[in-house]
Chain A
Amino acid sequence: MSFLEIDHVSFTYPRHDKPVLTDVDLHFDQGVITALVGPNGSGKTTLTRLMIGVLRPSCGEIRLERRPLVEYSLGEIGRRVGYVFQNPDLQLFCGSVAEEVGFGLANRGCKQETVMERVAFYLDYFELKDYADVFPLHLSQGEKQRLAIAAVLANDPLFLVLDEPTVGLDAYRKRLLEDYLKKISRSGRGMVLVSHDTAFVDRVAERVVILEKGRVIEDSGRKGKAADEA
């Protein structure tokens, strides 16, 4: 059984006539990195927002661990699925970079030492240590992107949905992100990444789904080394 199932989902925004997504039927498994690609306006971000319960399908159903997504609260979804927004400004809300990374853990009752340890690790990995006390919205675009990713990864989610994670990152930082995502995937966790960065997708994704005008026009299925091993 797949971890996240999108079952014949269509979606139309309120007060709009034209559907953004039509009859999308996709299943996502743990341990697989899936890339969602397609031109601007093809419905990629809308699909990710449906996957995390921020939007609800006009018809069809989404299931997370076999349970309908509508039965989960956003908090429950957040504990299972980590979501990196397309625009990091929308998900940074704390007074400092360190607080941002530790927010989820601290508010879920983790021990202070554990929080500090995890925060230190992610600040170090994403090279944000020097900005620990800086107000997040004062960072550059690339730094904000790294912070948003670090803050989500620090929560240790079972599954990841990353909307344009490489925007604003230089080649070196893209490589760091790639290594980390592959490491997560090897640990058995799945992820969906939306990206226009074809080189990044080629290197990271084991499965590529192409969306166009709100419909899935191609699904490569699981490919490559990972598929052979499975």
Chain B
Amino acid sequence: MKLDPRTKMVMVLCLSGLALLYNTPGRLLLLLAVTVAILLLFRFDLGAIGSYLKPFLSLMVFLFVIQCLFAPSGRVLLAVGPVPLATTGGLLTGAGVVLRIVVVTAAAMLLATFNARDFILGLVQWKVPYELAFMVFIALRFLPVFRDELVNVVTAVQLRGIDLKKVPWGQKIAMYRRLLFPVIYGAMLKAQRLAVSMEARGFRVYPRRTYLRRLNFRFVDYMVLVIFPLITIVLILLQLS
């Protein structure tokens, strides 16, 4: 199915909005199923979602455990003396947090089904200033760059002979803390180089910018643009009532 990039952006906003609003695993699972169905409709390779989520797996496990421990409610399933470690409510809240991350990531994958030029073009045709649209695009582009940077550092550290699995947690955290600043600074240097390169190619030199292509909504876009937000608003109202 072919849709205008702007239509897909609206779909992402609706799906992500609902994911942030919903807090029960049941509804989030349903939302995930809808998101996956949409991605399949666009012939998106679902394996890519897994590879995007893989680096955040430990964070998700951490959040799940934290929610289990610090949001106890319902029936106690596991306890150490008077302290409940796992409760039915805590498990559901934990599962909700993890599912929310998965839904937002999966929804964002819709943005990967069209090219960056169309993304900027779509925003510009919505009267978003070009500079701002380009900034949003660069910010989105830098997320995977930053992720790759972290993966590279972890690989490079191991290739210097350090077996991260065998390093005690305290030492590992200290090592990561020491590496964090150079990684962030490295990303900033890259951003700086990118800015110089953009300016060297005439970014913002002329007040007016022309575009070779124009995006045009088709009938199916108008349908989705009406139906999708409408369903979202109804679901939000139902959730709030």
Contact = CB atoms under 8 A, between A and B. Distances in A.
Contacts of B185: 135, 137
A225 interface: no
Contacts of A104: 160-162
Contacts of A107: 160-162, 167, 175
A137 B156 contact: no
Interface stretch (B54-62, B71-79, B176-184, B211-219): B176-184
Interface string A125-153: 00000000001110000000000000110
A94 B180 CA distance: 9
Contacts of B165: 73, 75
B91 to A, nearest CB: 33
Pick from B47, B158, B159, B165 the residue with the most CB of A within 10 Å: B159
A95 B181 contact: yes
Contacts, number: 76
A136 B179 CA distance: 13
Chain A interface size band reads 20 to 34
Contacts of A83: 159
A74 B160 CA distance: 9
Interface residues of B, number: 27
B161 A90 contact: no
A138 B232 CA distance: 49
Contacts of B159: 52, 54, 74, 77-78, 82-83, 91
Contacts of B186: 89, 93, 137
Contact of A108 (B45, B162, B181): B162
A17 interface: no
A73 B179 contact: no
Contact of B160 (A14, A76, A78, A137): A78
B235 interface: no
Given A135-B185, A137-B189, A93 B156 contact: yes
Contact of B182 (A75, A94, A152): A94
Contacts of A54: 155, 159
A159 to B, nearest CB: 12
Interface in B147-202: 152-153, 155-167, 175, 178-179, 181-183, 185-186, 189
Interface in B45-91: 45, 47-48
Nearest to B149: A90
Given A95-B182, A137-B189, A75 B166 contact: yes
A2 B47 CA distance: 37
Nearest to A96: B182
Interface string B91-124: 0000000000000000000000000000000000
A93 B175 CA distance: 11
Nearest to A99: B178
A90 B187 CA distance: 11
Given A74-B155, A93-B153, A93-B156, A135 B182 contact: yes
A151 B45 CA distance: 39
A103 interface: yes
Contact of A73 (B48, B158, B178): B158
Contacts of B167: 107
Interface in A47-96: 52, 54, 73-79, 82-83, 85, 89-95
A80 to B, nearest CB: 8
A10 interface: no
A74 B189 CA distance: 28
Interface string B125-164: 0000000000000000000000000001101111111111
A77 B159 CA distance: 7
A95 B178 contact: yes
Nearest to A52: B159
A137 B158 CA distance: 20
Given A52-B159, A92-B156, A95-B178, 12 more contacts: A15-B47, A73-B158, A78-B161, A78-B162, A93-B156, A93-B179, A95-B181, A103-B160, A104-B162, A107-B161, A108-B162, A157-B161
10 contacts: A15-B48, A52-B159, A75-B162, A75-B165, A75-B166, A76-B163, A83-B159, A93-B186, A104-B162, A152-B160
Interface of A: 14-15, 52, 54, 73-79, 82-83, 85, 89-95, 103-104, 107-108, 135-137, 151-152, 155, 157
